Amino acid sequence: MILFVGELLADLITEEPFESAENFILRVGGSPGNIAKFLAQLGVPTRVLARVGNDPIGKRIVNNLSKRGVDVSHIQYDDLNGTTIVFVQRTKLTPDFFVIRGADRFLKSPNDDVFSGVKIVHFSCWPFTVSPIREVALDILERLGKHGIILGFDPNCREKLFPCGRIDMETIRFVLERAEIIKPSIDDAIALFGQYNGSLEDKVRYYLDKFHQCGVKKVVLTAGPYGAFVSENGDIRRIPTFATNVVDATGAGDGFWAGLYYGILKGQSLFEACCTGSKVAAQVLSQIGADVEVKLDT
């Protein structure tokens, strides 16, 4: 069982510039829910801890997760705040976006039964950016040790996610110190540690070293069309991309996470698990949005 903590939301996706866009496609999303759905399709038990508005969009999201086989018994409903909406401009690279935040930031602290059967807890950056969910997320981190649960962390931090307009590096370093495995992109690394001017190889080594210096044992650095690079115990290996038909980048990183976790739970090496992640990401890239079908050949 993997527990995903954080935001559940609806994506409104357009191919047009935000300033003049009139046509949008609605897809239910949120990174925790996306990864949980992909893993459930692959046969891995998943659970989501999050908060949505008690509105048609929130109910649609929860019903979608439930139909995919995700445990939704710990999702909370908010009668005062609506479900979060994200506007996404579809691109072949990292999608542009802006967020109208709602119920997700008011997540209440869970009872210990949420950890029943859980081997891994997964967080993205967002729960650590704003109160009161920030305090709940930090409390959950402190409770993982007594349950023998490892932490997976997606450091997808951006300045615009933080109310103060800058990344709270003290908090992010606190999380990184406790993470067993992380999967930043090159863009994530630049946002956290600044631009590094050099060859791709030098850039990859620089950012991998930066994350290891924060205490992370297993780092997977994704680099778009160049694939990904996995680093563990001083060994760096390149993970090829399996994408042949790039339609939409939305949710591709979540697909990679799903395949990566699938491989880890199946006893694959970190390199093998990352190859599995790359294969799942390629399937997501070939479709629109993140509410899509994925599978692995057995």
| Residue 296, domain member (yes or no) | no
| Residue 298, domain member (yes or no) | no
Q: Which residues of the chain fall short of a pLDDT of 70?
A: 91-95, 247-249, 289-290, 298
| Residue 37, domain member (yes or no) | yes
CB 76 within 8 A of CB 107: yes
Whole-number pLDDT of residue 249: 67
| Residue 291, domain member (yes or no) | no
| Residue 31, domain member (yes or no) | yes
Whole-number pLDDT of residue 95: 67
Residues 6+ apart with CB under 8 A from 265: 2, 44, 119, 120
| Residue 292, domain member (yes or no) | no
What is the rounded distance in angstroms from the CA atom of residue 297 to the CA atom of residue 64? 24
What domain range includes position 246?
Answer: 2-285
CB 260 within 8 A of CB 226: no
Say how many domains are in the chain: 1
The pLDDT tens digits for 9-62 are 988 888 888 888 889 888 887 788 999 999 999 999 999 999 999 999 999 999
* Relative orientation angle of helices 133-147 and 169-178, to the nearest 10 degrees: 20
CATH number at residue 115: 3.40.1190.20
Q: Quick check: pTM over 0.85?
A: yes
DSSP states along 85-119:
EEEEE--SSSPEEEEE--GGGGPPPPPGGGGTT-S
Bridge partners (DSSP) of residue 219 are: 182, 231
CB 66 within 8 A of CB 58: no
103, HSE (Cβ side, Cα atoms, 13 Å): 23
The pLDDT tens digits for 189-216 are 999 999 998 888 999 999 999 999 999 9
User: Tell me, what amino acid is at 218?
Assistant: K
